[in-house]
Every structure is written in C-alpha cells, then in structure tokens.
Amino acid sequence: MSTILFQDIIFGPVKSRRLGISLGINLLPLNRKFCNFDCLYCECGLGNMKGRSTLPKAEQVVTALDLKLQALLAEGVIPDVLTFAGNGEPTVHPDFPAIIDAVIILRDRWVPKAKISVLSNSSRIDKAEIRAALLKVDNNILKLDSALESTVQLLNRPVRNTYSIQEQIQYMQLFEGKLIVQTLFVRGTFEGKTIDNTSEEEITAWIEALRKIKPRSVMIYTIDRETPVQSLEKIPLKELEKIARRLQDATGLPSTIAG
Ligand code: SF4
C-alpha cells in the first residue's frame, strides 16, 4: 500500500488533474492524516483523527504562504490556483475562516489572477461560519460520493455516528449554487461488502440530489493511484462520460471528467 502524506504546510506547485498548476495549503498535521472521514480510497491511507495531533497555527500558515509566493514569483512561476487540501479535511482547523481571509489578502497581493480552491468532504458545512468562509473562495469544492446513507457509511466512513448525507444535501442547498460538487466513482469490495457507486440505484439518487443542490458544476472522477484498499477498481472513462451525459440530460448541469 502506498500513501501520500504532505510534509509541509505549503506544498507544490503540482500539476493537478482537476485544477491546473496548484500550490497546496495543508492545514493538517504534517506526516499524518487528520480527517473526520476515512474513505476507502484515501491517498493518505486508512485511519482518522484518533490521538493527539498538532495543527499548524494560522500565523505559520500565513508566513509560509507569503514566503513561498514571493519565492515562486522570483522564479517566474505563477500558480493557477491556491488549493486547500493536504493530509485530511481543511475545515476541521479551528481557524479555518480566519485563514481563508488571510489567504485571500496574500493572493490579491502576490498572484491576483490565481483562484482559491477548497477541497472539502462537506462534513462541516452545517456550521454557519464554515459556509461563510467557503462562500468567499473561487472554487468551493464539496464531496458527494453517494446520496445513499449505506454507501457513504461504507465508502466514506464518517467518524460522527449521527452523520447523515440527507442532512448534508440540505446544507449544500444553502450555497444557492455557489459550489462545485466532486464525486469519485469506484467499485470494489471491503470486508466482504460490495461497493459500487455507479449502480442504477446510486446514479438515480445522485442525480436527484444534484437536482436539489444545483451546483455550478460537477467534478466526476475516479481513483488515480494505488489506494489503501487494494480491491478498489478505477471506473473506465467511457462509463464516467456516460454518467456525465445522464446528468446533463436530466438536469442540464455541466460537469468535468477526470478519468
Ligand atoms: S475526505 Fe479526503 S482526506 Fe478525508 S478520508 Fe476522505 S479522501 Fe481522505
């Protein structure tokens, strides 16, 4: 099993399949996953928030980004996007809203054409301050791998035992279209159970949820590298394209595909 853990607060820039030249911002502990989900496909490996961990302080994040942007500019490198991602879920950082404000100031000062993206699992959008912060960024990218509770429990494995995807779908509607939904399609087995979020039942429920959420667009993708659960399979590009066409026909929503 291979895992990718970021060892810095600011990482990259890297060429992202979905975002272009991306400079990453990791608000999570270095060298350790820290997430309130435990997705079977997580490139950071399996495991979650158990145990003590130190998160970087807001000032450390701001200083590191400030220095990195100045160094990149000196080399003539301008990122397309500043992306909150890294070793887990960025919105669990207690200073997430303040860090968003500070990053917007730095972006405006050094790389005004760069977009700010947040890749989030959506789990904390029930908090008004998190929604307000996400509304300030260019690309508020929220996970919806399935609209079925049983699949979310099996595939995304939220830590909170009262977690409900139906509730999260209602919170997504509060963004009034100012969000991008990201869905990773995958098939496989885990501990004797079958996982397949491409089945007819899944796609029907997913399209119905997206009809309610009305996102600006939908990112459809599949696993790219080795996953911690070896039995997971990549979904062929043709199948992803078919799902995108069904979504477009049923709702008119645009999508991007990364196979
Ligand atoms: S939400 Fe992201 S970081 Fe968290 S377990 Fe899932 S893939 Fe990993």
Q: What is the pLDDT of residues 190-240, one digit of tens each?
A: 999 999 999 999 999 999 999 999 999 999 999 998 899 999 999 999 999
Q: Is the CB of 42 inside a 6 Å radius of any atom of ligand 1?
A: yes
Domain annotation covers residue 128: yes
**pLDDT confidence tier of residue 5, bands split at 50, 70 and 90:** confident
Q: How far is the CA of 249 from the centre of ligand 1 (A)?
A: 30
pLDDT of residue 143: 98
pLDDT value at position 181? 98
Task: Note whether residue 35 is domain-resident.
Answer: yes
For the stretch 96-114, pLDDT in tens is 999 999 999 999 999 999 9
What is the spatial distance between Cα 67 and Cα 147, in angstroms, rounded to a whole number? 41
Preceding omega of 13 cis (within 30 degrees of 0) = yes
Q: Is residue 95 part of a domain?
A: yes
Say whether pLDDT at 20 is over 90.
no
Residue 238 CB partners (closer than 8 Å, separation 6+): none
CATH number, domain of 92, equals: 3.20.20.70
β-sheet with 115-120: strand ranges across: 10-16, 20-26, 81-85, 115-120, 139-143, 180-185, 217-222, 255-258
- For residue 108, how far is its CA from the centre of ligand 1 (angstroms)? 29
| Inside any domain, residue 70 | yes
Mean pLDDT of the chain: 94
CA angle 90, 61, 181 (to 5 degrees): 25
Average pLDDT of the residues in 149-159: 97
Measure the CA–CA gap between 57 and 147, rounded to whole angstroms.
35
Model confidence band, residue 2 (pLDDT cutoffs 50, 70, 90): low
The kind and range of the H/E element at 165 are: helix 165-173
**Amino acid letter, residue 23:** L
CB-ligand 1 contact for 39 (6 Å cutoff)? yes
Residue nearest (by alpha carbon) to ligand 1 atom 6: 39
On whether the CB atoms of residues 27 and 8 are closer than 8 A, the answer is no
Q: What is the pLDDT of residue 4?
A: 74
Distance between CA atoms of residues 5 and 8, nearest Å:
9
Q: How many domains does the chain have?
A: 1
Tens of pLDDT along 65-74? Answer: 999 999 999 9
Give this prediction's pTM. 0.95
H or E stretch at 205: helix 200-213
Q: How far is the CA of 45 from the centre of ligand 1 (A)?
A: 9
Q: What is the mean pLDDT of residues 128-151?
A: 98
Give pLDDT tens digits for 178-193: 999 999 999 999 999 9
Position 50 pLDDT exceeds 90: no
Instruction: Look at residue 49 in the predicted model and tell me its pLDDT.
Output: 66
Closest residue to atom 3 of ligand 1, CA basis: 88
Q: Which amino acid is present at 229?
A: V
pLDDT > 70: percent of the chain: 97
Q: Collapsing DSSP states into helix, strand and coil, what is residue 181?
A: strand
> How many angstroms separate the alpha carbon of residue 109 from the centre of ligand 1?
31
**Structure token digits, residue 131:** 């929604």
Whether 29 is covered by a domain: the verdict is yes
Query: What local confidence, expressed as pLDDT, does residue 81 receive?
Result: 97
pLDDT band at 167 (very low <50, low <70, confident <90, very high): very high
Q: What percentage of the chain has pLDDT greater than the value 90?
A: 86
Q: What is the pLDDT of residue 184?
A: 98
Residue 1 has pLDDT above 60, yes or no: no
Spacing, Cα 88 to ligand 1 middle (Å): 6
Length of the chain as a residue count: 259
Give the residue numbers spanning the domain of 220.
Answer: 10-258
Pocket of ligand 1 contains residue 89 by CB under 6 Å: yes
102 found inside a domain: yes
Residue 72 Cβ inside 6 Å of ligand 1? The answer reads: no
What pLDDT was estimated at residue 250?
A: 98
Domain contains 92: yes
In a domain, 202, yes or no: yes
Nearest CA owner, ligand 1 atom 8: 42
Tell me the average pLDDT across 91-97. Answer: 97
When pLDDT is averaged across residues 236-253 and rounded to a whole number, the result is: 98
Q: Is the pLDDT of residue 124 over 80?
A: yes
Query: What's the average model confidence in pLDDT over 141-159?
Result: 97
